[in-house]
A and B are shown apart, each in its own frame.
Chain A
């Protein structure tokens, strides 16, 4: 257990509204990640962070922004939610160097439905 929590766990929102998902970790790991999981696509990286205020885009970053003002919190914001962003969102951390050599630990996920 890497002490990762996500909130909310479930959310239903309307198209066009902003939504923020929170990932919180208790072990002060440097590397944090946001993924979305969709049938037929597996896990796809949205954004990641390699330190406070240090973030970068993943493969499906359009329509999403992130912020990390504290080591323990990594926020994912959908600026104007669309139905294509209906998905399950997972936060993850990586211990150690983060450069592909260490396993990741995942949060329990947030199921987001955009109507």
Chain B
């Protein structure tokens, strides 16, 4: 079945450091991929999405490129801030109808 592998956390970085969170998947169905972010005490919210191969999603300085040949969708940010401290979830394509799958989440802590 469809599956996703997301980099385990926690990840601790200093402010202004470079961030990469890896995500790979096995599904080959609907092409959209998503990254969600969850701040403490809140529900998940969409961070960015990509809808086709080689598409790059971006938002709030975060970027992720849909690499169909490597089935990956790694999240990157050039300079993290303390306010980026949160849990990040990768959500890859799924081949089933109506269903979504999520990675286990990567907790990011950014220190001032």
A interface, CB within 8 angstroms of B: 31, 33, 40-43, 45, 48, 50, 56, 58, 90, 92, 94, 98-109
Tell me the dominant secondary structure on chain B's binding face: loop
Could you say which of A31, A102, A108 has the most chain B C-beta atoms within 10 Å of its C-beta?
Answer: A102
Instruction: Tell which of B12-20, B68-76, B77-85, B90-98 binds the partner.
Output: B90-98
Inside 8 A of A106's CB, which chain B residues have their CB?
43-45
Cβ-defined contact, B43 with A45, below 8 A: no
Cross-chain contact of A48 among B31, B42, B99 (Cβ < 8 A): B99
14 contacts between A and B (CB under 8 A): A43-B105, A92-B44, A94-B98, A100-B32, A100-B96, A100-B97, A100-B99, A101-B51, A102-B32, A103-B32, A103-B34, A103-B46, A106-B44, A107-B43
